[in-house]
Amino acid sequence: MFSSASSLLPLVPLLAVLPTALALDDAGMRSRSVYQLITDRFARPSSATSTCNASDRKYCGGTWSAIADKLDYISGMGYDTVWISPVVENIGGTTGLGEAYHGYWTLDINNLNSNFGTADDLKSLSTKLHDKNMYLMVDVVVNHVAATAGSSFTPDANYAPFDTSADYHSFCWIQDYTNQTQVEVCWLGDDQVALVDINTNSDEIKSTWNNWIKSLVSNYTLDAVRIDTVKHVQMDFWPNFTSSAGVFNQGEVLNGDASYNALYQKDGNVNPFNYPAYYPLTRAFNQTSGDLASLVTMASTIKSSFEDPTLLGNFLNNHDNPRFESTVTDTSLIKNAHAYPFVTDGIPYGYYGSEAGFTGGNDPDNREPLWTANYDTSSDMYKFFASLNAVRKAAGSASSDFYTNQMSVSSLSDSSILVVKGPLVSVLSNSGSSASDASVTVPSSSSNWSANTKVIDAISCESLTTDGSGNLAVTVKSGLPRVFIADSSKGSSVCSNSTSSSSGGNSGATSVIASSPRTLVAGTVGAALMVLAMAF
């Protein structure tokens, strides 16, 4: 079943495991900021000139090498980790749902997707990221392979190592998503593209997957893995798989129930994406009468449900959900919604094209080619994300507990909430860009600021000072978010290209994070030396 002669899993010297000592563990990942991209749609060789229409669902020519050439564009926004599409060989040709440009229609896990490049290209991308003190996260699909037949599917050698019928759960479509047995053993997809459910209950298949992920991480010096369709695989599969990976994982549990998601972190050793927050987040800021109260309530529910909320993956946009901007056009609402994942507990994820103002709706329209935006680093949203990343990094530098301390979220007014994750204090509003200026007060009992403390808004670069009791009078202007940090804690990157002002500042200040040295975050130096000793 498991082929050791495959191109993806060559035998490697024992010393090849050493790079994983530099990979990301939980402690190292908390301080990261992730840029998600679709490999086929982020960048392609300059020689490519063909038109790319997202709605066509066809390969458009994006490659790993082209990603490597655009790393400065990503790091310019302050992102230090890049999540790329699945890398394995997918089914070929055109189906009723287009081509497998996205990488999620697995054929053979032992070969790479040649549309994206060669093994050397993928290794080179990893190396170039690491040379820039950046990290690589690769998407993996464990639950299924893809086929253009449903009940009549018969595996063959092309599906190695899962090339016999016994390697799959018997055919059935998922009909009831509240039935966990159906969710885990029945199939996703339809007769156009069936996602054939792998029998992950088999001990042999478990061993295959565990060996595969260990080799994938080692061979390409991966720093983290994103896991697709986590809830569709039984819980007892995940602990050994994630342990075999040996790096941080972020898993897709597409469900808005906090208690349901929390079980995967507790029992499966999988850190879910924060879908419980995603749904109330979009409802809070999708209109000027949005439901802020439900977001406040969910923030509290998440804290009480998860063993560690600081390891959740926070997002507003991704490849599976319509871009927020597809239904919301108000710039202030958009900025407040995007700010939330950066100023709250967990790891922020930015989806490519958000900085370019992309407005794609449901898949495939939310998978636009980025080169049509010319990688513009002067856009307002590009600078906005740079400012958010800069102030988050400054907060982490100012406080050793920033990434592990849990936030508080409370209501400030009918149209604003207060998010305190010291030393960050944020005022987010859904009043919208047409609203009149509104005054709110950040109490010292929430911020812990003392009297006459000078603070700076990392977005507008306006300087303010607390009163004699440590309270801060804040004016919400045009409904824009306010993200404050004490001036003494802002470091050199927050508002580095602007002159701070107590009367308004510059609203579009560029702030780019300077990368810190890549550290031994999977263990101490002593642990790394132990690995060396064991290797010899």
CA-to-CA separations, 251 to 85, 222, 308, 408, 429, in angstroms, rounded: 14, 16, 14, 25, 30
Instruction: Judge whether 307 is annotated as a binding position.
Output: no
* 518 has binding-site annotation: no
Q: How many other C-beta atoms lie within 10 A of the C-beta of residue 343?
A: 26
Rounded to the nearest 5°, which phi and psi values hold at 196?
Answer: -75, 120
What gap in Å lies between CA 360 and CA 353, rounded to an integer?
9
CB 144 within 8 A of CB 158: no
The amino acid that residue 419 corresponds to is V
Cβ-count burial of 329 within 10 angstroms (0-12 exposed, 13-18 middle, 19+ buried)?
Answer: exposed
Q: Which residues pair with 140 in a beta bridge?
A: 227
Instruction: Give the C-alpha separation, 372 to 41, whole Å.
Output: 10
Whole-angstrom Cα distance, residue 402 to residue 422?
A: 6
Residues forming a β-bridge with 472: 442
CA–centroid distance for 34 within its chain: 5
Is 226 annotated to bind a ligand? Reply is: yes
**C-alpha 440, offset from chain centre:** 32
Is 325 catalytic? The answer is: no
To the nearest 10 degrees (0 to 180), the angle between helices 292-305 and 275-285 is 170
Return the SS3 of 225.
strand
Determine if residue 83 is labeled as part of a ligand binding site. Answer: no
For residue 61, say whether it is annotated as part of any ligand binding site. Answer: no
Q: Are 438 and 469 in contact (CB under 8 A)?
A: no
Residue 204 counted as an annotated binding residue: no
Query: Is 320 a known ligand-binding residue?
Result: yes
The response to whether 367 counts as a known ligand-binding position is yes
Catalytic residue (choose from 40, 80, 89, 228): 228
Exposure string of 267-305, with b = 16+ CB inside 10 Å and e = fewer, is ebbbbbbbbbbbbbbbebbbebebbbeebbebbebbeeb
Residues 57, 78 contacting (CB under 8 angstroms): no
> Residue 355 annotated as binding?
no
Catalytic site residue 203?
no
Q: Which residue has the tokens 């009468």?
A: 289
523 marked among binding-site residues:
no
Which one is catalytic: 89, 139, 252, 355? 252
Annotated binding-site residue? 197: yes
Q: What angle do CA 137, 141, 144 make, to 5 degrees?
A: 175
For residue 351, the surrounding DSSP H or E stretch is strand 347-351
143 is in an annotated binding site: yes
Beta bridge partners of 413: 416
- Determine how β-strand 347-351 pairs with β-strand 313-314: parallel
**Binding-site residues from annotation for Ca(2+):** 143, 184, 197, 228, 232, 252
**Catalytic residue numbers?**
228, 252
**Binding-site residues from annotation for substrate:** 105, 144, 226, 256, 320, 367
**Binding-site residues from annotation:** 105, 143-144, 184, 197, 226, 228, 232, 252, 256, 320, 367
